[in-house]
Structure 1
């Protein structure tokens, strides 16, 4: 049993150990494997193939297992490391602690949006973005996307509205599900209903690789998804009688039947079911 802490509560030593473990994982080549995996399973609901990770009911359990695999890889380097969470409803400015020089570094510079501060700046010699993600090999960010279409980070009220929904997910179990906790947090914009919200809006706010399928190229991805995992934990505690839905594959003969994962359907690439990932209490807790 280990603890995932709020990133703002990390000591200087804890930050250094986490950064060092991430950089060693990068040098080994294994970090890039995690990026490739996320790109592979970033399946849109307009594609005719299974989508365990996004635009789907299994969004939360798939990313829980993905985060656990990453954490296990880090702990193979430093057993005392865990993935902290970034509460973007509170730490919601470019001067928040996670963007410090000794942690994740800050925003990209004007023009090319290149990150020039912190251990993941390309100049530091430790971090290259590649494998078809960008024409350049340096990390970029574009906080708030200033200009014609600026975006703000979600608020506590945004999260509270999602947590209040007692239903886990609803048909058609995809990006246009108008009700249900899953899509309220995953946050796909639905014309006439709501704009991009919560999880997706955070990806947009950071910008750079975080705005696309290769989002783990930016290490903040893991802190973001640690918080998303925590929100799922909070929702389950707030609604103990609410089940994961769909409990089984959709009964209708529509195309989503073969692309959506019910409670006991094994999810690739690990062949584990959502049911096996509902309870994390024997593995880790949140501080």
Structure 2
């Protein structure tokens, strides 16, 4: 079945003084139907977090443009983005008085498959229709407590230490990298990348309903608006990217519509 892609990225500063999140979509310069989405939630005070998040995007773009599937697996590419961005962020600590750190979610879409990697507590959700297929597991203290059964999902959202990360880019320890993939793909598959400034205010079902029920731009607007309302004046930076696969419209002539991107 020929597929086309609908995408959107969006950010909101929330109630913070500075936007330290970063997000971007990149089309591969040579391979049709291949794209990369990357999201980073920077930490470090002043402009340090923004600088760290920016390094994630720069490294993602560089490595993705050099990606050659005959000599490199998707998992290797995505891991290289996280590891090399981590090294660059660490090096900036020696040339500034800042202490920059960042999370990272890197998602690559190719014809017939999707691959992703993450570090920290920014998330990737995979929905088929409105149903959750999978989501990344947070590298956080509360995430570990949740996986061990010490707390439930409701308690996790309200836990006073929910912002304590066990792994991120720029720390002394090497980053913990979680990987995932999906193949084959079908119409109705959606991938949501977001920072904790968004997912912290929604259940999985709410996110799935929004992503499946409206075009990506409208879904992003609705989710950000609701997150702002639920934050009650104490909201973090909000960042989101949505990639949704839909049936390609019929057209005359040769070609099947694979690889088309609609923004």
The TM-score bracket by the shorter chain reads: under 0.3
Report the TM-score, using the length of structure 1 for normalisation. Answer: 0.24
Q: Whose strand proportion is higher, 1 or 2?
A: 2
Structure with higher RCO (Cα < 8 A, 6+ apart): 2
Q: Whose helix proportion is higher, 1 or 2?
A: 1
